[in-house]
Structure 1
Amino acid sequence: MSDWFVPAGSATGDGYETRISPGREGWSYTGLWTARLDAGESRTIPCGDCEWIALPLSGSYRVDAVVNGQEHHVELTGRDHVLAGPTDLAFIPRDSEFTVTATTAGTIALPHAKARTAYPFAYLAATDVPVELRGAGQASRQVQNFGTPGVLEADSLIACEVITPAGNWSSYPPHKHDTERDGIESELEEIYYFEMRVEDTPTGRDAAHFAKPFGYQRVYGTDDQPIDVLEEVRSGDIVLVPHGWHGPAMAPTGYDMYYLNVMAGPGEKRAWLICDDPAHAWVRGTWDDQQVDGRLPLHDH
């Protein structure tokens, strides 16, 4: 097992099912906590030197924040599950404190990243989340850009959700963002948090009570920065990408794949610029005469 693979349940603490933070060995800028809460249950988070997003994976929540002595209160409608479409969310700046309280049972994700500047508290409605269909054919996927530059104001945190229908590949061609090159490539760590589901078809629904959904994730390095990850992933698993080429993320036939990406790095400019592996970049050209997978989008938006 790779050091960069974090199986579900192996990074818990203080009431969180997932607790990855900056300062972990070999890890400097990004974090992700998840908590499964019953209705009425809450968690209080001091932001410290990180900026945070309260992102419902399932369930509904109230967020109460204190930012520079000013109180903010928002209700997050949330969603039934991660494949039900985008969710609304709250952004909380560094040097603040916030409490998340479940109004219905569910799981809340708390992506965060080191921040130099405190940006304003913000609420983003689900209808304001851009949904992008990328690729074509078996490389078709759905990207929900809730926390990307141009959508959400932040100092360093970049985040999005990707849905890959059963049988498809995403994060493909393999690409990297580990070197700061102005206008070409950003230096960004990246977290992949996975959830897998049996596809929503008559056969899939019949199998849902006994099937064990899974997928695969690949990360590989360069001569200067080696890394070698090829892991079977299931719901709640995490793959950390400190550097190197990453992709594909593979959804086997029968199993839809969801992942939450959390990114940040040391650069002064908040940008998400990638560089394809030259050995595989040509694959993009094969999409020109293919259609986007007709199953997408997997929700009504």
Structure 2
Amino acid sequence: MPADDAPHEAGPWVPRGSTAQPPFELMVTPERAGWQYAGLRVLDLPIGGRATFTTGDEEMLVLPLTGSCDVTCDDERVTLTGRASVFARISDFAYVPRAATVTVRAPNGGRFALPCARASRTLPFRYGAAEDVAIELRGAGQASRQVNSICMPPGFDADRLIVCEVLTPGGNWSSYPPHKHDEQRPGEARLEEIYYFEVAAAPTGTPGVGYQRVYGPIEVCAEVRSGDAVLVPYGWHGPTMAAPGYDLYHLNVMAGPGQRRWLACDDPAHAWVRASWTGRAVDPRLPLTSATPRRPGRGDPAW
């Protein structure tokens, strides 16, 4: 646990809109979180909207949640095809370096996640293709989930930033067994982490809900809805629970002071669960998404 255990300015649970700073509907900086490296903004643009900002000392991704956009970084530009929703497909994305001026333009509007991390190296602006994102199916049975390695070592280079997407079918648990990564030691890396959520809607359009647990030095058991976030500075976290009938998406943003590796240790009280998966099938509903778009379904807005 870090020496500075002062309360976090944004609080561990960050409801949608509670940290809004237009045009960002969510704004979590290291200062607001009470830590040093990881951050996240969510940019909400109307039809024809654009936003220009500087990255300062942060490296960043532009990752469409809904919609498509053009991303201009200084004198270079890429076009992101994007997606109808996080449940429709894996999206392409752009990596933006520190000390850059960025403009995101969305002719048809959209919402865009901007995960970021304080960085020392200045790497090139570049495009990340959806087809290059590795998909991993983890767990078994009701602990089955899909992990999309958006900006993960060694597949995609960054200075400190680690980003992945996790999709959990309704009724399943992710981030299980509970685990932590708050110490720099063999088999574990010190990583600050942000969980950002989107939840599929009911067939009637009623918004869905999920749940997130964090325990140890801090205690959180939060009902989460689309647009909410949970901060994990230290301690055990998990499970991430998808309520029956509601598929759950969460974006993990991680960064820390050591070597860029995602190393975690399970809570010893629950580590035995992994062995119980041997010989059990992964949930047949997975994978929920791929790089190939599918027709809009439950929880998807019209394209």
- The answer to whether the aligner puts 1:251 opposite 2:246 as a matched pair is no
Task: Using the TM superposition, name which of 153-162 and 95-104 deviates more.
Answer: 95-104
- Could you tell me which residue of structure 2 aligns to residue 190 of structure 1? 193
- The answer to whether the aligner puts 1:265 opposite 2:256 as a matched pair is yes
Query: Of 127, 133, 136, which aligns to 1:132?
Result: 136
Distance in 2, matches of 1:164 and 1:214, equals 12
Report the residue type matching 1:239 in the other structure: V
Query: Of 99, 106, 118, which aligns to 2:103?
Result: 99
Q: How many corresponding residue pairs?
A: 282
Report the residue type matching 2:199 in the other structure: M
Distance in 2, matches of 1:188 and 1:127, equals 27
Q: Which runs of 5+ in 1 are unaligned?
A: 199-203
After the TM superposition, list the runs of 4 or more consecutive aligned residues in structure 1 that deviate by more than 2 angstroms. Answer: none
Distance in 2, matches of 1:25 and 1:152, equals 26
Report the residue type matching 2:168 in the other structure: T
Q: Per-residue deviation at 1:14?
A: 3.0
- Could you tell me which residue of structure 2 aligns to residue 15 of structure 1? 23
In 1, are the aligned partners of 2:11 and 2:33 still within 8 Å (CA)? no
Superposition map of 1:29-68 within 5 A? 29-66=37-74
CA deviations over 1:143-201 (Å, ceiling 9, x no partner): 1101111121110000000000000000000000000114x110000000001113xxx
CA deviations over 1:35-70 (Å, ceiling 9, x no partner): 21123211112010000100000100000001xxxx
In 2, are the aligned partners of 1:17 and 1:33 still within 8 Å (CA)? yes
The share of aligned pairs that are identical, in percent, is: 55
| Other structure's SS at 2:156 match | coil
Q: Per-residue deviation at 1:15?
A: 1.5
- Could you tell me which residue of structure 2 aligns to residue 219 of structure 1? 214
Q: Per-residue deviation at 1:25?
A: 4.9
Report the residue type matching 1:37 in the other structure: L
Q: TM-score w.r.t. structure 2 length?
A: 0.90
Q: Which runs of 5+ in 2 are unaligned?
A: 1-9, 292-303
Distance in 1, matches of 2:33 and 2:65, equals 27
Superposition map of 1:136-151 within 5 A? 136-151=140-155
**Pairwise CA RMSD:** 1.2
Distance in 2, matches of 1:62 and 1:100, equals 6
Q: Per-residue deviation at 1:96?
A: 1.1
Q: TM-score w.r.t. structure 1 length?
A: 0.91
Distance in 2, matches of 1:15 and 1:79, equals 20
- The answer to whether the aligner puts 1:288 opposite 2:283 as a matched pair is no
- Could you tell me which residue of structure 1 aligns to residue 122 of structure 2? 118
Report the residue type matching 2:52 in the other structure: T
Report the residue type matching 1:36 in the other structure: D
- Could you tell me which residue of structure 2 aligns to residue 201 of structure 1? none
Distance in 1, matches of 2:56 and 2:123, equals 14
Q: Per-residue deviation at 1:300?
A: 4.4
CA distance 1:300–1:19, change in 2 (3 Å): closer
In 1, are the aligned partners of 2:212 and 2:222 still within 8 Å (CA)? yes
In 1, are the aligned partners of 2:33 and 2:231 still within 8 Å (CA)? no
CA distance 1:92–1:25, change in 2 (3 Å): closer
Distance in 2, matches of 1:197 and 1:132, equals 21
- Could you tell me which residue of structure 2 aligns to residue 230 of structure 1? 221
| Other structure's SS at 2:31 match | coil
Distance in 1, matches of 2:82 and 2:151, equals 16
In 2, are the aligned partners of 1:59 and 1:103 still within 8 Å (CA)? no
Q: Per-residue deviation at 1:85?
A: 2.0
| Other structure's SS at 2:247 match | strand
Distance in 2, matches of 1:116 and 1:85, equals 32
| Other structure's SS at 1:138 match | helix
